[in-house]
Structure 1
Amino acid sequence: MVERCHCDLNMAAPGNAACEDIQMFMDQLKQRRLVDDRIIHELNTIFPTQDFAGKVDFTKQCKSLYQSMRDGHDKRRSDIAACVSVTAQKAKLLKEQRDADQDNYKTVRSLRKEQGNLRLFQQELNVEEIVWERAETAFNERCRTYYKPES
């Protein structure tokens, strides 16, 4: 039997979203990428005007922002990978069922749906890497002199 993936996507309050509900998964993933999408704004708030520059601990601020970015990325990547795994397992099971009974239209339709979902999740893994690279580049441009993350 295929297990269900309950990917925790809600940062504010614990909650579960089944991998089967692609639209909800994508919407919550988009919400969780806000820090990375707004990295320039976040960096601008860390680095105030010259009048306030002496009152800010840039090292602490940069380290906090990086940790937030890294934690978010790791969690999103883990959630997406879990859904890829579960969806691949479901597709494999459906393929075996289809091979056993090729005339069952319902199984063929379900297999196509799962294969489509699998492609979407795999694409999201690629998108996640692009989002991370873009955010990390912006971070390094502004914070490299104050905080150097460990590799």
Structure 2
Amino acid sequence: MSLAITECGDFSAFQEAVKNMRKIDDLIISTLNTAIPTDSFHPDGESACKDLHKKLEEGNSQRTNVIKNCITVTANRVKELREKRDTNAEDISLSKALRSEQTKLRMLQVELTVEDLVQQRTAKVFHEKCRKYYKPL
């Protein structure tokens, strides 16, 4: 898993990096089925669920921080471009760049909403499978 996405400029690369960071969430059901197969195997469900919960929380926090950081960077860029455009309204390239950054900002905000939905889905599946073994605080 990538520790940081330093470049927020290329939205496609950003989206791909976040997608890769979501692999544990995308595979939550098979991960839980592997960690806690059935009661007949007498797995250490508490330990498995606790470890998985820790990984999920770290991933959630990391992805949310990366997305929010890129939103901040892009919002600052929008503000900067807007100020430049206001002082030089004749420059078409500034208007185009501003529209492009505004679009990217909206897409990043949608990505934050998607992240929230992914986290809710993962939490629901985790709770259904691990509720009798581990109850996070």
Report TM bin, short chain. Answer: over 0.9
Distance 1:61 1:126 in 2: 29
Structure 1 consecutive aligned stretches of length 4 or more whose deviation exceeds 2 Å: none
Work out which of the residue numbers 10, 28, 31 in structure 1 matches 2:2: 10
Deviation at residue 16 of structure 1 after TM alignment:
4.5
- 1:45 matched to 2:34? The reply is yes
* 1:24 to 2:13 alignment: yes
* Percent identical residues: 37
Superposed, 1:89-128 pairs within 5 Å as 89-128=76-115
State whether residues 5 and 14 of structure 2, in contact with CA within 8 Å, keep that contact through their aligned partners in structure 1.
no
1:98: Cα distance to partner?
0.8
Deviation at residue 47 of structure 1 after TM alignment: 1.7
* Paired residue secondary structure (2:114): helix
- Relative to its length, the structure with more helix (as a share) is 2
TM-score (norm 2): 0.95
Alignment RMSD:
1.4
- Tell me the matched-pair count: 137
The residue number in structure 1 matching 2:60 is 73
Structure-1 separation of matches of 2:88 and 2:38: 69
Question: What code does the residue aligned with 1:96 have?
Answer: E
Contact between 1:62 and 1:147, CA under 8 Å: does it hold in 2?
yes
Determine which structure has greater relative contact order: mean sequence separation of CA pairs < 8 Å that are 6+ residues apart, divided by chain length: 2
Counterpart Cα distance in 2 of 1:16 and 1:66: 23
- TM-score after normalising by structure 1: 0.86
| Counterpart pick for 1:60 among 44, 47, 56 | 47
Mark the runs of 5 or more structure 2 residues left unpaired by the alignment. Answer: none
